[in-house]
């Protein structure tokens, strides 16, 4: 079918991340003719390389597990964390419809989530916080179900894979860390490696997909099964507006400008603006090196399209980005590989972070967002993550893997610093040896007692959840005493932008007067964050992306009077 024959659709979705494909899969399942337009050569966006977790209140999984939660508790917690930017309409829609969206998607598409058995909110001591019930983990997926489209799915960077192409999730990582201590973990890892070895006989990477890759594959497979069209290497250049209604979009594809009609509307889901030139002007320090995990295509296209139709943009957010500390490996061929320090190292025993002066400045086991907020608050452009040989052998550090992996190449590349003593490490990273020695002595004394008094590492349930449960009495604390010592430079970084197009509770974009712009919607990071640039818990970007993607598609389908059947049983049997 030629592009000209495909140029009339019920719905056009710009972007192919979780928000985009949740919208597309919902609309296609409800009978709409859908086009997904993706600028990159692969689909999936930032979502494809994310952890894949979704933070949603009141899921069927949570209720089945007996989670104690309520709309009032969720509302109280969000109001406490979000503060002045709290939006009652969006929060109420998220609380009321998030679990409905998840149930519909799991009954009508291949989306499958499992409940994390224990996953505290990021501020567990605040009113309304819970220890479990809101965080959902993506169920693994067989990428072979995508058929010919498997090759088009965005692949995670090498640092997030094992053996050059094997995906692992949080449970797998824990088994790999314990494989020398647990026969069950050893068996688990051997099975994964055997599956991966078989995959590599026929595929360029493993077909067992986890985390964000599984999320995108599940939604995309469902969308494709119901006729969704996907245009890769295609760029939305301008919206088509007739009598104040967005009725289509001009797409640059294969050297041609193609007018595409969208009977029901256009949904912006292009991942925000974290990788664009616009981003520097919205960071607290635009001069220091900053490393975003967003792909280059997340350049603020939705903001530019919205500007042309007088769409309102978010203002006064607590943060314009979702922060994370990021390290970077420079390969010999000039390529750069980034690694976000989210779950594998900062909170572990025997690991600390110091500023350029050699002093600790933060509770390392707090959330990645809080970690970078603290860097900005203290005027720290970069810091050093430090561990001893014991921690390195057991947990690794950034791209450096735990024992028995040889990390010599990372040392040679300058990514990983190694030294036989603390003063030697201080010299290698350019900090005062005496200050660093005093920092370690002070920390080590607290670590031996199991209570870290300066910043409270391991002081709450979220901290301890991120540590090593097999290390007691404090899963986050151990003295750094065993040479050699290691260090990695961390920069301020982000997982994506929070500032976006202002919407109502239907994800309908609003103009500067607060009225809906007919036919224009925004979801994911193109939608101004309902969290106001705060980070209450794991999956607070993907939970709303799935919810408001489903809401937007449902709103459009209802306007077009498409079928809207909620099935009682899943229509797909793959897992």
Q: Dump pLDDT digits (tens) for 384-407.
A: 999 999 999 999 999 999 998 899
Mean pLDDT value across residues 333-341: 94
Q: How many domains does the chain have?
A: 3
Paired with 253 in beta bridges are 234, 256
- Any idea which of 32-41, 141-150, 193-202, 374-383 has the lowest mean pLDDT? 193-202
- Measured between alpha carbons, how far is residue 329 from residues 38, 93, 344, 414, 507 in Å? 28, 42, 17, 8, 38
Positive or negative CA dihedral for 370, 372, 378, 384?
A: positive
Share of the chain above pLDDT 90, in %: 85
N-terminal to C-terminal alpha carbon distance within the chain: 31
Task: Output the pTM of the full model.
Answer: 0.93
Residue 566 has a CB neighbour count (10 Å cut-off) of 9
Q: For residue 176, what are its two tokens?
A: 């790999």
Do 345 and 373 share a structural domain?
yes
- Measured between alpha carbons, how far is residue 316 from residues 84, 233, 263, 298, 374 in Å? 9, 34, 34, 21, 19
Paired with 268 in beta bridges are 14, 522
Q: Please name the residue ranges forming H helices in 266-405.
A: 301-308, 368-377, 389-395
Do 538 and 482 share a structural domain?
no
Nearest to 223 by CA among 18, 373, 378, 437: 18
Residue 199 confidence (pLDDT) = 79
Do 353 and 306 share a structural domain?
no
Nearest to 387 by CA among 311, 447, 301: 447
Among the candidates 440, 475, 494, a domain finishes at: 494
CA angle 290, 291, 295 (to 5 degrees): 135
Do 239 and 188 share a structural domain?
no
Distance CA 167, CA 192 (A): 9
Element (H, E) at 253: strand 245-253
CA angle 326, 382, 124 (to 5 degrees): 60
Do 432 and 308 share a structural domain?
no
Domain assignment present for 402: yes
Q: Quick check: 242 and 263 in contact, CB under 8 A?
A: no
Q: Quick check: 16 and 223 in contact, CB under 8 A?
A: no
Domain assignment present for 189: yes
Domain assignment present for 505: no
CATH number of the domain encompassing residue 28: 3.50.50.60
pLDDT tens across 89-127, in order?
A: 999 999 999 999 999 999 999 999 999 999 999 999 999
- Measured between alpha carbons, how far is residue 534 from residues 72, 125, 541 in Å? 19, 16, 10
Q: Is the pLDDT of residue 234 over 80?
A: yes
Do 49 and 36 share a structural domain?
yes
Domain assignment present for 224: yes
Helix/strand/coil for 260: strand
Q: Is the pLDDT of residue 572 over 60?
A: no
Do 229 and 89 share a structural domain?
yes
Distance CA 466, CA 528 (A): 29
Do 481 and 337 share a structural domain?
yes
Band of residue 174 on the pLDDT scale cut at 50, 70, 90: confident
Do 151 and 60 share a structural domain?
yes
From the number of C-beta atoms within 10 Å of its C-beta (0-12, 13-18, 19+), residue 469 rates as exposed
Residue 534 has a CB neighbour count (10 Å cut-off) of 25
Q: Quick check: 77 and 536 in contact, CB under 8 A?
A: yes
Domain assignment present for 504: no
- Any idea which of 70-74, 245-249, 281-285 has the lowest mean pLDDT? 281-285
The DSSP-derived string for 379-411 is T-SEEEEEEEHHHHHHH-BTTBPPTTS--HHHH
Residue 194 confidence (pLDDT) = 84
Do 130 and 15 share a structural domain?
yes
Among the candidates 443, 464, 494, a domain finishes at: 494
Q: Is the pLDDT of residue 565 over 80?
A: no
Q: Quick check: 164 and 151 in contact, CB under 8 A?
A: no
Do 329 and 277 share a structural domain?
no
Residue 197 confidence (pLDDT) = 87
Residue 166 confidence (pLDDT) = 85
Band of residue 575 on the pLDDT scale cut at 50, 70, 90: very low
Nearest to 169 by CA among 216, 110, 205, 212: 212
Q: Quick check: 124 and 460 in contact, CB under 8 A?
A: yes
Distance CA 110, CA 138 (A): 11
Residue 562 confidence (pLDDT) = 44
Distance CA 302, CA 501 (A): 8
Distance CA 93, CA 71 (A): 11
- Measured between alpha carbons, how far is residue 101 from residues 38, 278, 343 in Å? 24, 33, 28
Domain assignment present for 216: yes
Among the candidates 205, 233, 268, a domain finishes at: 205
Q: Is the pLDDT of residue 567 over 50?
A: no
Domain assignment present for 574: no
Q: Which range marks the domain in which residue 442 is found?
A: 322-494
- Measured between alpha carbons, how far is residue 173 from residues 304, 396, 402, 463, 472 in Å? 40, 11, 11, 18, 20
pLDDT tens across 25-50, in order?
A: 999 999 999 999 999 999 999 999 99
Residue 180 confidence (pLDDT) = 79
Domain assignment present for 410: yes
Residue 568 confidence (pLDDT) = 36
CA trace torsion 423, 426, 432, 438 (10° rounding): -60
Report the chain's mean pLDDT, rounded to a whole number: 94
Distance CA 46, CA 10 (A): 26
Residue 81 confidence (pLDDT) = 98
CATH number of the domain encompassing residue 414: 3.90.700.10
Nearest to 310 by CA among 404, 394, 244: 244
Residue with tokens 């291949």: 110
Do 328 and 308 share a structural domain?
no
């Amino acid at each position: 079918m030629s592009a000209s024959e495909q140029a009339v659709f019920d719905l056009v979705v710009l972007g192919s991340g979780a928000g985009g494909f949740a919208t597309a899969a919902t609309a296609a399942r409800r009978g709409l003719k859908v086009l997904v337009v993706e600028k990159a050569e692969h689909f999936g966006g930032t979502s494809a390389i994310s952890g894949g977790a979704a933070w949603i209140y009141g899921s069927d999984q949570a209720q089945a597990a007996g989670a104690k939660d309520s709309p009032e508790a969720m509302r109280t917690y969000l109001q406490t964390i979000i503060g002045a930017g709290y939006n009652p309409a969006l929060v109420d829609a998220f609380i009321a419809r998030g679990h409905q969206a998840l149930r519909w998607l799991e009954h009508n598409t291949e989306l499958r989530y499992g409940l994390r058995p224990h996953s505290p909110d990021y501020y567990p001591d605040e009113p309304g916080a819970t220890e479990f019930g809101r965080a959902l983990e993506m169920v693994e997926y067989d990428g072979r179900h995508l058929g010919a489209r498997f090759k088009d799915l965005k692949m995670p960077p090498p640092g997030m894979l094992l053996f050059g192409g094997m995906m692992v999730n949080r449970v797998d990582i824990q088994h790999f860390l314990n494989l020398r201590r647990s026969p069950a973990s050893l068996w688990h890892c051997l099975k994964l490696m055997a599956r991966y070895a078989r995959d590599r006989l026929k595929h360029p990477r493993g077909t067992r997909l986890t985390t964000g890759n599984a999320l995108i594959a599940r939604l995309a497979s469902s969308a494709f099964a119901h006729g969704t069209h996907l245009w890769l290497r295609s760029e939305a250049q301008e919206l088509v507006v007739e009598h104040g209604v967005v009725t289509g979009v001009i797409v640059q594809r294969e050297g041609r400008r193609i007018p595409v009609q969208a009977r029901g509307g256009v949904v912006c889901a292009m991942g925000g603006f974290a990788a664009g030139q616009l981003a520097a002007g919205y960071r607290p320090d635009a001069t220091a090196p900053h490393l975003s995990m967003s792909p280059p295509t997340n350049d603020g296209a939705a903001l530019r399209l919205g500007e042309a139709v007088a769409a309102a943009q978010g203002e006064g957010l607590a943060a314009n980005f979702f922060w994370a500390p990021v390290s970077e490996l420079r390969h010999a061929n000039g390529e750069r590989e980034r690694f976000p320090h989210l779950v594998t190292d900062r909170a572990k025993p025997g690991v600390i972070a110091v500023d350029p002066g050699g002093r600790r400045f933060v509770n390392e086991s707090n959330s990645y967002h809080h970690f970078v907020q603290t860097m900005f608050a203290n005027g720290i452009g970069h810091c050093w993550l430090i561990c001893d040989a014991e921690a390195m052998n057991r947990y690794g550090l950034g791209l450096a893997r735990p024992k028995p992996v040889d990390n010599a190449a990372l040392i040679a590349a300058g990514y990983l610093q190694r030294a036989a003593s603390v003063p030697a490490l201080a010299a290698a990273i350019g900090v005062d040896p005496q200050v660093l020695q005093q920092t370690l002595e002070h920390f080590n004394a607290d670590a031996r007692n199991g209570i870290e008094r300066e910043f409270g590492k391991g002081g709450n349930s979220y901290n301890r959840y991120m540590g090593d449960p097999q290390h007691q009495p404090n899963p986050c604390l151990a003295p750094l005493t065993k040479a050699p010592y290691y260090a990695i430079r961390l920069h301020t970084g982000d997982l994506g932008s929070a500032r976006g197009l202002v919407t109502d509770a239907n994800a309908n974009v609003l103009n500067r007067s607060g009225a809906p712009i007919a036919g224009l919607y925004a979801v994911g990071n193109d939608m101004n964050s309902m969290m106001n640039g705060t980070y209450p818990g794991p999956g607070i970007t993907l939970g709303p992306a799935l919810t408001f993607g489903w809401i937007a598609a449902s709103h459009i389908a209802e306007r077009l009077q498409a079928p809207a059947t909620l099935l009682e049983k899943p229509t797909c049997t793959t897992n």
